């Protein structure tokens, strides 16, 4: 609400004085931009953020500016190109390993693996601290009436299906999954609504603008299952510590819902992930999914395989993304193993 509240203030064109509608972005009489001052401010903000290396802030400023420009204007195209370039820089910044010293011999290799594990834990810890430091962010969805209301309806539904313990855990896991999407959307400066829960389906965040490129689309899509994995693993760890079966049930139900979301079609998370895969990578994904199915006998994987089989023959970009392929397959395998009937889910419900 806060970012559009000031829109109501402009009631007449400052250039020619023509009366303006409440949502007007340009003057119907002289064609002048209603928010030209604010647009200049935002452009300056974006430049300053980029200059100090805060790519995410720059992306968000450009996103705000885009919202103040009428559709079909050249400025919008310029901003889209700018966001594409900035998004690629942000991905390079966060995903390129800083230094890769070449190791010789098995001792060196072992040290290298140890260092890699330490680096991974350090990174994980860093991310965890950042997330905890932004408790306000985690509560963001809860402060939205639409999220809160739909979540309560969903909780009532989940309660009826699985009882209150598992039902509540299920809703929390879904919420964490959605916040993974929201986190990444904010990082790449993409306008989106608050999460909405739909009983019988799950939850979703509606995007108000297209991601800058397929790689960004994939990052946003797979961020949900990645955070969802954190929630599932946390539930299983609590089970291992307490032996209370309700936690195992929560972990494995969350896993199967995440696996379902990896079906690579429509606007499902897996569909977004596949947008960044080229033909070759889609074939590789399909091959591994078949292997995973024979290894885990997880029936949800059949749907994932069918979706992947369809996407192998659908339109694919030339430029692929190996990181997305790796993450996608990792998530599919772990969720298949954790789902009911899988290794970790064996003792849970049904």
Angle formed by the axes of helices 74-95 and 55-67, nearest 10°: 160
Residues 282-341 that bind Zn ion (CB under 5 A): none
Does the footprint of Zn ion cover residue 205 (CB under 5 A)?
Answer: no
Residue 50 or residue 269: which is nearer to Zn ion going by CB?
A: 269
306-342 per-residue burial string, b: 16 or more CB within 10 A, e: under 16: ebbeebbeeebeeebbeebbebbbebbbbbbbbbbbb
> How many CB atoms neighbour CB 75 within 10 A?
15
Does the footprint of Zn ion cover residue 253 (CB under 5 A)?
Answer: no
Does the footprint of Zn ion cover residue 220 (CB under 5 A)?
Answer: no
In angstroms, rounded to a whole number, what is the distance separating the alpha carbons of residues 345 and 311? 29
Residue 31 or residue 108: which is nearer to Zn ion going by CB?
A: 31
CB 83 within 8 A of CB 212: yes
- Give the tokens for residue 295: 């290894």
CA atoms lying within 13 Å on the CB side of residue 244: 8
Residue 85 or residue 198: which is nearer to Zn ion going by CB?
A: 198
CB 167 within 8 A of CB 155: yes
- Give the tokens for residue 130: 């950042």
Does the footprint of Zn ion cover residue 224 (CB under 5 A)?
Answer: yes
Does the footprint of Zn ion cover residue 13 (CB under 5 A)?
Answer: yes
Which of 100-108, 188-196, 220-228, 285-293 is the region at the interface with Zn ion (rule: CB under 5 A)? Answer: 220-228
Q: Which of 7, 15, 168, 341 binds Zn ion (CB under 5 A)?
A: 15
CB 254 within 8 A of CB 170: yes
Residue 18 or residue 40: which is nearer to Zn ion going by CB?
A: 18
Does the footprint of Zn ion cover residue 128 (CB under 5 A)?
Answer: no
Q: How far is the CB of 16 from Zn ion (least distance, A)?
A: 3
Q: How far is the CB of 222 from Zn ion (least distance, A)?
A: 9
Size of the site for Zn ion (CB under 5 A): 10
- Give the tokens for residue 88: 């690629």
CB 227 within 8 A of CB 183: yes
Residue 181 or residue 311: which is nearer to Zn ion going by CB?
A: 181
The interface mask with Zn ion, positions 32-71, x = CB under 5 A, is x---------------------------------------
Query: Measured at the alpha carbon of residue 129, what is the angle toward residues 127 and 135, in degrees to the nearest 5?
Result: 105
Catalogue the E-assigned strands of the chain: 196-198, 202-204
Residue 46 or residue 273: which is nearer to Zn ion going by CB?
A: 273
In angstroms, rounded to a whole number, what is the distance separating the alpha carbons of residues 312 and 282? 5
Q: How far is the CB of 21 from Zn ion (least distance, A)?
A: 13
In angstroms, rounded to a whole number, what is the distance separating the alpha carbons of residues 230 and 169? 13
Residue 58 or residue 263: which is nearer to Zn ion going by CB?
A: 263
Q: Which of 4, 11, 19, 30 binds Zn ion (CB under 5 A)?
A: 30
Does the footprint of Zn ion cover residue 344 (CB under 5 A)?
Answer: no
In angstroms, rounded to a whole number, what is the distance separating the alpha carbons of residues 344 and 77? 49
Residue 49 or residue 263: which is nearer to Zn ion going by CB?
A: 263
Does the footprint of Zn ion cover residue 198 (CB under 5 A)?
Answer: no
Query: Residue numbers of the site for Zn ion (CB under 5 A)?
Result: 13, 15-16, 18, 27, 29-30, 32, 224, 269
């Amino acid at each position: 609400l806060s970012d559009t509240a000031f829109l109501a203030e402009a009631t007449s064109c400052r250039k020619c004085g023509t009366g303006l509608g409440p949502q007007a972005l340009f003057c119907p009489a002289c064609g002048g931009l209603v928010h030209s001052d604010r647009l200049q401010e935002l452009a300056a903000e974006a430049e300053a953020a980029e200059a100090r290396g805060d790519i995410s802030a720059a992306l968000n400023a450009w996103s705000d500016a885009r919202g103040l420009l009428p559709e079909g204007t050249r400025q919008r195209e310029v901003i889209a190109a700018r966001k594409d370039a900035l998004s690629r820089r942000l991905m390079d910044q966060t995903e390129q390993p800083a230094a890769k010293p070449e190791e010789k011999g098995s001792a060196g290799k072992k040290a290298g693996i140890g260092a890699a594990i330490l680096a991974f834990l350090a990174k994980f810890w860093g991310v965890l601290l950042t997330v905890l430091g932004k408790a306000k962010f985690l509560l963001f969805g809860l402060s939205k009436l639409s999220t809160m209301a739909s979540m309560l309806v969903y909780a009532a539904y989940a309660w009826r299906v699985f009882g209150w313990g598992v039902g509540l855990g299920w809703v929390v896991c879904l919420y964490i999954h959605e916040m993974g999407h929201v986190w990444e959307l904010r990082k790449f400066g993409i306008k989106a609504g608050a999460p909405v829960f739909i009983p019988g389906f799950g939850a979703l965040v509606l995007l108000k603008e297209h991601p800058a490129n397929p790689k960004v689309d994939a990052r946003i899509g797979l961020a949900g299952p990645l955070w969802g994995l954190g929630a599932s693993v946390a539930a299983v760890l609590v089970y291992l510590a307490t032996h209370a079966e309700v936690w195992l049930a929560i972990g494995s139900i969350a896993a199967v819902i995440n696996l379902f979301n990896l079906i690579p079609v429509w606007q499902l998370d897996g569909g977004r992930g596949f947008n960044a895969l080229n033909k070759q990578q889609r074939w590789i994904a399909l091959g591994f999914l078949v292997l995973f199915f024979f290894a885990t006998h997880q029936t949800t994987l059949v749907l994932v395989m069918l979706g992947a089989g369809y996407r192998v023959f659908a339109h694919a970009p030339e430029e692929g993304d190996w990181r997305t392929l790796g993450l996608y397959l990792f998530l599919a395998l772990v969720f298949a193993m954790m789902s009911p009937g899988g290794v970790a889910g064996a003792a849970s419900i049904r």
